[in-house]
Amino acid sequence: MGVCKKTMGRVKVLLVDDHGPLRKALYEGLEATGSVQVIGEAATGKEAVARALELDMDVILMDVQLQDPQEGRRALSGVGAAVAIRRERPRTPVVFYSIQDDDEYYREFRAAGILTHYAYVRKSNYLLPSMLVPLLRDAVNGRSLVDPEIEDRVQEVRDLDEQSPRALLEPNELRVAELMAQGMTNEQIAARLTLHDKRAVSRTNGRIYAAWGLSENSVDDKVARARATLIYMLNRMVIWDENGVALVQGRRGEWVPLYAEK
């Protein structure tokens, strides 16, 4: 009979969290179980990658949201760090946890293509050390788990992306929409794309407006342009009622105001 890789002995863990007090509490709690040895710590995604490549750990326990003051918006999230680590150490086991509910984290996780040797759980449900130990062992042994609530949210994001307004545009139209959203004029867009006829941009704008339902209302080009910019930036379909109120679809498919009234 085969023996699981980590049925006996302490699991060696690299602990990654940007919140110092929580990281300390996790360190102490995991060590107190007697089943885990925390052999390294990291506070950022970049540091996690460096530590993972130098340590002989069994599994990584990592927060999904990782701030890095030096990197700012370019900071690696926990998912991004895991992808980078797995380039050098394929299928490195990782247990992710998060209290975040932002679509972008679920979108990044789905796009990462992580298939095995992981768990992804909500911080509020599974962060007790005694509950983490089985997840760490399962990840080491190749078993994966997605918290049901997170699985539902990943599916919601998948459904949203399949209905993405950007998916309705051809590549050249998408590029024009991107430059429009950056505030460029038609002339500037034509110059950037080295188009011989700047009227080509106007024609492309018309295709964008039609694809996004903006040509169905009697609005001038400036209004359509502003609305197209909002749709591009949100990457969500937006409609406007007769009073000019922007509406988006809620989770149950109903149209609700994009901006709450003050």
User: Tens digits of per-residue pLDDT, 66-120?
Assistant: 989 888 878 899 999 999 999 999 999 999 998 877 777 887 888 788 889 999 9
Instruction: Identify residue 64 by its one-letter amino acid code.
Output: V
pLDDT at 111: 79
d(CA 56, CA 160): 40
Within-domain flag for 244: yes
Within-domain flag for 1: no
> Last residue of a domain, which of 105, 126, 161?
161
pLDDT at 243: 87
Using CA atoms, how far residue 188 sits from 23, 36, 183, 185, 195, in Å, is 50, 59, 9, 5, 10
- 114/219 same-domain check: no
Give the pTM: 0.62
pLDDT at 189: 94
Residues of the chain with pLDDT under 50: 1-4, 6-7
Both structure tokens of 200:
């080509």
d(CA 121, CA 63): 10
- What is the CA angle 201-207-212, rounded to 5? 125
Domain count, the chain: 2
Q: If DSSP states are collapsed to H, E and C, what string results for 177-240?
A: HHHHHCCCCHHHHHHHCCCCCCHHHHHHHHHHHHHCCCCCCCCCHHHHHHHHHHHHHHCCCCEE
Range of the domain at 190: 165-257
Sign of CA dihedral 65, 66, 69, 75: negative
Which 3 state secondary structure label does DSSP give 92? coil
- 150/170 same-domain check: no
Burial of 8 (0-12, 13-18, 19+ CB in 10 A): exposed
pLDDT at 4: 47
- 83/144 same-domain check: yes
- 121/242 same-domain check: no
pLDDT at 183: 94
pLDDT at 160: 66
Within-domain flag for 151: yes
pLDDT at 218: 59
Question: What's the residue count for the chain?
Answer: 262
What is the bridge-based pairing of β-strands 246-249 and 255-257? antiparallel
- 212/122 same-domain check: no
pLDDT at 2: 40
pLDDT at 132: 93
- 45/69 same-domain check: yes
pLDDT tens-digit map of 176-190? 999 999 999 999 999
pLDDT at 1: 36
- 237/249 same-domain check: yes
Which 3 state secondary structure label does DSSP give 14? strand
Q: Taking Cα atoms as reference points, which of 138, 11, 114, 29 lies closest to residue 64?
A: 114
Within-domain flag for 2: no
pLDDT at 125: 66
d(CA 163, CA 178): 18
> Last residue of a domain, which of 108, 137, 161?
161
- 143/173 same-domain check: no
